[in-house]
Homo-oligomer: A and B are copies of this chain.
Amino acid sequence: MTVSTGRRERKKAATRQKIADTALRLFLERGYEAVGIRDVAAEADVAVTTVFAHFASKEALVFEQDENFEQRLARAVTGREPGEPLIPALRREIEALVRHCSAAEALPIWRMIDETPALQEYEQSMRLRHAEALAAAIAADPDLARTTTECRTIARFAVDAYSLAREAADPDAALDEIFRMVEAAWAATVRPGETVADQAVASR
């Protein structure tokens, strides 16, 4: 458990980065399907097995940096201001994520993803994992006493919002419409006879 920032780890990280950069460059140059793992390995000057030592699959090469997506969603819930209602906090984070994907630099990548079925499937799997993590974070919040099903449902709705907004022509407008619906869905989970604490503190 030593925190050594040794040459070893630096080299490993460098190799990983080199592979990821090479892969992304080749994918964008020639198209995802037209580039084989063997091409990537050769161009990055590593063995095929080394590629798979760093990345679980070919698709993972594309989503290299989006590993923190899951943590960001969960932290938007666990790390929000005390008393701040859930949905606005979620929305703020998702808005940031959508903007991040819509950045000019990331656009060709997302175009490639939208054109490649294998990458879309992979992204859906990621989203499902993210939804599960988000549901766990929501369920763990003592301020939000909801059933497991309700937590899982609102988590799904939230990642749906991300996905739908990213595909929309006008992401900001889409987020408005979608979160009006998400907010209503969440409000409907409050049992009659319970305090509406989560809602009451609202109004920013």
A residues neighboring B (CB under 8 Å): 117, 120-122, 124-125, 128, 147, 149-150, 152-154, 156-157, 160-161, 163-164, 168, 173-174, 177-178, 180-189
Distance of A33 from chain B, by nearest CB (Å): 16
**Other-chain contact of A186, B120, B153, B156, B181 (Cβ < 8 Å):** B181
Contacts of A124 in B (CB 8 A): 121, 124-125, 128
Give the distance in Å from the alpha carbon of A164 to the alpha carbon of B119 in the complex.
Answer: 24
Task: Show 27 A/B contacts (Cβ-Cβ < 8 Å), sorted by A.
Answer: A120-B128, A121-B121, A121-B125, A149-B164, A149-B168, A149-B173, A153-B160, A153-B161, A153-B177, A153-B178, A153-B181, A156-B160, A156-B163, A156-B164, A157-B181, A157-B185, A177-B189, A181-B185, A181-B186, A181-B188, A182-B185, A183-B188, A184-B185, A184-B187, A184-B188, A185-B185, A185-B188
| Contact A147 B181, beta carbon cutoff 8 Å | no
Majority secondary structure, A binding face? helix
Do A149 and B121 contact each other (CB < 8 Å), given the known contacts A160-B156, A183-B188, A184-B187? no
Do A177 and B150 contact each other (CB < 8 Å), given the known contacts A184-B187, A188-B184? yes
Give the distance in Å from the alpha carbon of A124 to the alpha carbon of B124 in the complex.
Answer: 7
Q: Which of A117, A185, A187 has the most CB atoms of chain B within a 10 A radius of its CB? A: A185
| Contact A154 B128, beta carbon cutoff 8 Å | no
List the 7 closest pairs (A to B, CB-CB), nearest first: A184-B188, A181-B185, A185-B185, A184-B184, A156-B160, A124-B124, A149-B174
